A and B are shown apart, each in its own frame.
Chain A
């Protein structure tokens, strides 16, 4: 009996059904800021699909598991971001996200009432993450036809089961971080999550936290599927200003904590430091680190890796505090190949124009991009004014999906597949008219303006590695003649700035004023009518005129008989 028990134990040990990994990537940016990106991945070999009820949780958080199985979710992606990612200064982020909150969900094809489920799901998620996701309703939800494809396995591409919504106004703060940290198996008690001190994380130029759940294959043959929960946290620390211009950073300086152990539940726990631009890295104490090279977002980068599961990483001090100093800002950042921006033009409070600029910096290759725009109904787009121009010429999109809005029901959805010519700016403009809202529809502080969520640009961008013909040193000569070789292009999603649009805003004492004014007008009209109807009019003996009276007075003085 004992033997059988041990055997069972052995089996469960060698084949754990779930697995947890954590990692932190630190990349010093050219602007002097430091980009820190945490990723926590929980893999769970189980089957939520086809109505299987799963109820026993180990590393996977129970609250999310319940949400997935109750609402038959196939994929769930949610992000909360404070600040805007400056692509031109910071390069491409590992995990792009728009300012505010973004949620997109693929439901399983067994769901019949997708809209109802979506509504319930947003309410439950807003409870889990302490965010105002309950403001997601049909007026800001769209079903993109091409831009958001499932990232996990599964061949459902019917976009009836997809819902996408953003809340650009959402403010992200500590109350969102705490529930996010609670989803980690080690909480913030051990491992990399120890570094997440909210007062430091929110004292930054950019903060973004996200949760991605998707089904993935366990192996290359895809015999078993498992669920992947990826929790990511991306922060850009503005160390340049806070560090008095000194270009150095350390873990302690950024997070005011140091690391002492890996999360004991993690099968891997690593720190990657991007040393591509800056090979001279100095440390507080000598720690052996591995150097690896990887192609990240089309660019070949060098990282030094610290494995926290190994005891000698922490040295004799029993704590790890990395310190990096770098020479003054020499060497320029590789400019991202794709960049986009957006603004509102026009004056007055009646009409306006949305301009979306997309830059392709690739010197000789053009590539297609998918542009997704979701505009609230109160900006009425004139779709006949839609123009796409690049290099002064009309650029005809090869695919346009447009769903007009319905007042108070659904937003505009515009999706376009546009080819960006090499080294060019493509401009998409569309005119709109501002609608008058009902007075209860205005948000608090309406004079601040109304947010319009970011446009989403998804593209397969040609790889820099392939483009860069100079950088052939590390590669064998025979492999480097033709510029296109491995990983010729990579997927990029870019979010533009959210727009802030002023709508004609009434004075909110208006209803009372209107009532008063109407009542007064009605009362005046009524009064004269009433008088006309009820008074009887008689012709009176007219009074003698003033001139005549004066004349009579003079006549009396003269002793002449007065005028009649």
Chain B
């Protein structure tokens, strides 16, 4: 009896103390992760709110109508992209009549001047728009122009011809609405842009090839970019090239980058590479008396050059490469041909998500009987014009053609209008949110699947801060604070990547459970066998005793 009690209590000690103790001491450290919040993020419901102010100038509405103008009106537009993602666009429209100062501004002789003085009056915040409805008889707009889009966040809209004073206000608003909507899609965000930005989360439906090509061309959103200009001089023996890259960057590139400051940090550097060859030998074309590179071979040009370019040692941001290739004296002039065998007028091409290459022929700078080496000054205005256009494309500044009746003001010295920046910020915020949510959810999924990975506190902290930033970014988008939304989405993407690529997540990946058990078999087997045997014995004895008792009662 005493032995049985002892066996039972040992078994109890082993089960109550021994097994949990072993379990605790051999388990891997896994910090707490906000799993439920991550799952909420996996189901993304984005709401984009844009503030629109519609200002009626004098002569567009009658005083009676003026009294009836609704103060605000909000319009919702819902799209379900796939089962996990849905989008809702909300336009908060406010109506008012123009102030006296604005009337003065609208009386300027040209639209551009009106645009400037309206901007001086009040600066509309990032992401919002002001539409001035001007009377039919205005002199600001040319005859055939219905809508003028300025350099900032304002647009001028001509009230329609058939809309005379006397019609009801509702009809007036109904008439304005489709045009305002078209304007909004051009100036803030359109559904195609936003779905393209979601491409990290959602597989794009095949069919709209154009937008896929557009979204593939631009660099992925990143908190910083490195821009590198390289001058390739394959023949330093004959050409001594001088380029004033410092001045050219200051004049041509820096204004654009200053404008893009809220979007990302940019750093610029330049280098000169000697004896750098292209990957293909250009063919001599007798008809043009020049060497040509055709469109098919352009794909092979980059690789050998890339080995020389060198990666950026000091940061891990994506690099935009712009190469200026000066062909050697024996292979000049060199022209790039497109698929239709026509010479490309800019003599340049770009490679999606990589950069651009321009060929700069210098053979016309010297005669046939010149003494090498020749000193050549490169015309930087010509070069930078091409590179600036490529840079805009690669950064995703879309220059979509405006619908008929729309006039877009030429962008000024900065090369980028305010509303273009807004448009970029909308799609970048959405893209950042999409990327960060995918990263965080896949990290959570991975950690959930592999139970052996150690989750350190710093990773948990990064994950939590990413989740918080994401929630904030979504909330800010919802309330229409575009600047803050972008800021939070950048923080989210940084934190999520830091957590995802943390090296500590790889440590114990290959130490599976079965090996752990194999190691402890020599302990478990001799311990458990006597306990099990004595438990069995106790059970059989109890059964025996019961049977004995039964026979006794019988």
Contacts and interface: CB of A to CB of B under 8 A. Distances in A.
A527 B10 CA distance: 12
**Which secondary structure characterizes the binding site on chain A?**
helix
B23 interface: no
A264 B530 contact: no
Contacts of B525: 523
Contact of A533 (B10, B246, B270): B10
B7 interface: yes
Interface in B304-348: 308, 310-315
Which of the four size classes fits the interface of chain A?
35 or more
Given A516-B522, A530-B530, A533-B3, A264 B237 contact: yes
Interface in B497-527: 519-520, 522-523, 525-527
B280 to A, nearest CB: 18
A522 B246 CA distance: 76
Contacts of A437: none
B373 interface: yes
A55 interface: yes
A540 B307 CA distance: 91
A127 B2 contact: no
Given A63-B313, A67-B313, A533-B6, A515 B519 contact: yes
Interface in A514-541: 515-516, 518-520, 522-524, 526-527, 530-531, 533-536
Contacts of B29: none
A164 B212 CA distance: 52
B256 interface: no
A3 interface: no
Contacts of B520: 515, 519
Q: Which of A5, A261, A515, A530 has the most CB of B within 10 A?
A: A530
A128 B313 CA distance: 7
A57 B3 contact: no
A527 B6 CA distance: 13
Which of the four size classes fits the interface of chain B?
35 or more
Interface in B266-296: 267-272, 274-275
A182 B7 CA distance: 76
Given A182-B308, A533-B3, A534-B534, A62 B269 contact: yes
B377 interface: yes
A187 interface: yes
Interface string B517-545: 00110110111001100100000000000
Contacts of A127: 311, 313
A518 B519 CA distance: 12
A264 B236 contact: yes
B274 A186 contact: yes
A58 interface: yes
Nearest to B526: A523
A242 interface: no
A187 B275 contact: yes
A471 B50 CA distance: 92
B448 interface: no
A124 interface: yes
A512 interface: yes
A535 B2 CA distance: 8
Contacts of B526: 519-520, 523-524, 526-527
B6 A5 contact: no
Contacts of B2: 536
B375 interface: yes
The 8 closest A-B pairs by CB, nearest first: A523-B526, A55-B269, A519-B523, A519-B522, A70-B314, A189-B275, A533-B6, A534-B3
Interface of B: 2-4, 6-7, 10, 228, 236-237, 242, 245-246, 267-272, 274-275, 308, 310-315, 373, 375, 377, 519-520, 522-523, 525-527, 530-531, 534
23 contacts: A5-B377, A13-B375, A55-B267, A55-B269, A56-B270, A57-B271, A61-B271, A62-B269, A62-B271, A69-B314, A70-B313, A182-B310, A185-B274, A265-B274, A515-B519, A518-B523, A523-B523, A523-B525, A530-B7, A530-B531, A533-B3, A534-B4, A534-B7
Given A189-B275, A527-B530, 20 more contacts: A9-B375, A9-B377, A56-B246, A56-B270, A57-B270, A61-B310, A62-B271, A71-B314, A124-B313, A182-B308, A187-B275, A515-B519, A515-B520, A522-B523, A522-B527, A523-B523, A530-B7, A533-B6, A533-B7, A534-B10
Interface of A: 5, 9, 12-13, 55-59, 61-64, 66-67, 69-71, 124, 127-128, 182, 185-187, 189-190, 261, 264-265, 512, 515-516, 518-520, 522-524, 526-527, 530-531, 533-536
